[in-house]
Chain A
Amino acid sequence: MVATATVTGTPRLLSADAEVTLLRVTQEALANVTRHAHAGRVAVTLSYMDGETTLDVRDDGSGFAPGADGAGANGGLGLRGMRERIEALGGRLAVESAPGKGTTIAVTVPVQ
């Protein structure tokens, strides 16, 4: 599997909370890709913007129908835990996926 990491915008310090949370979410998302996605490619993109920072983890793997498993209610993806951590920071976590279309975890956290 090919993995790439990209940073856009001008990097700046985030709160310790936000940095730790983004790191954990990245680790969790990458672990999911390894375990479930059967992907050939995964990319982590950290984008510094005015007032917010986004983190995307996108793979080209098998994907799934969001809703079926998207909230993490059935376990497996651990999305619920990730979402709770992000929302505690005032951020948002979205999952974009469709069967056969890969999966993208999209996280936005505000700049404190």
Chain B
Amino acid sequence: MIRILIADDYPVVRDGLRGMLAGEADFEVVGEAASGVEAVRLTERERPDVVLMDLQMPEMDGATATAEIAARFPETRVLVLTTYDADADILRAVEAGATGYLLKDTPRERLFPAIRAAARGETVLAPTVATRLVSRMRRPATEALTSREVEVLELVARGSSNADIAAALFISEATVKTHLLHTFAKLGVDDRTAAVVAALERGIIALPRRR
């Protein structure tokens, strides 16, 4: 018996899923949650095998709830079931620890095996989602920054202006700007704040030490 928790803020969706799943002898719906907070609470109480998780929900979204469930109840698998297939949504959910990611247009003959696979801990991805993840991985990895570009970015992280950076490195402001443009392109960002955030996230630079 696979014990299932349905988390979706739309009652119609919950009813529809419950009705669909009721026809399968090995499925038992043990609860319904209308928010991320409720999903976590019911997971704690019911310890379901699989949570069918919507992403857009009030009071804690699905990705945050997924992260919390993955951290606190690792034996419960989260299968995201959503209408959203943007790269950012997919990545957030997968990074949060979702076992699978399906779209709400998934036909029942695909959904049922996916729930069983998720219960066994197998990764299940909608074909479009799998394609997106793979193509994202095929994209060339971020080009390495030169040591000079890292130097410039470290100064930006400390709040230096282009003139400050030019003075510190004893070069022109024009060349500082050129370094920054190349750095932005390599990091895939548009401005200095985003560049600093991206470089911190990827460990290219460390937070400046306080003096």
Contact = CB atoms under 8 A, between A and B. Distances in A.
Nearest to A96: B172
B171 A56 contact: yes
A26 interface: no
Interface residues of A, number: 21
Interface of B is mostly: helix
Interface of A is mostly: strand
A106 interface: yes
B178 A49 contact: yes
Contacts of B92: none
Contacts of A105: 172
Contact of A43 (B148, B170, B179): B170
Contacts of A4: 170
23 contacts: A9-B146, A10-B146, A45-B169, A45-B170, A45-B171, A45-B175, A47-B179, A49-B179, A50-B185, A52-B178, A54-B178, A58-B170, A58-B171, A96-B166, A96-B174, A104-B166, A106-B171, A106-B172, A106-B173, A106-B174, A106-B175, A108-B174, A108-B175
Interface of B: 146-148, 166, 169-175, 178-179, 182, 185
A-B interface, 5 closest residue pairs, ranked by CB to CB distance from nearest: A106-B172, A8-B148, A106-B174, A104-B172, A56-B171
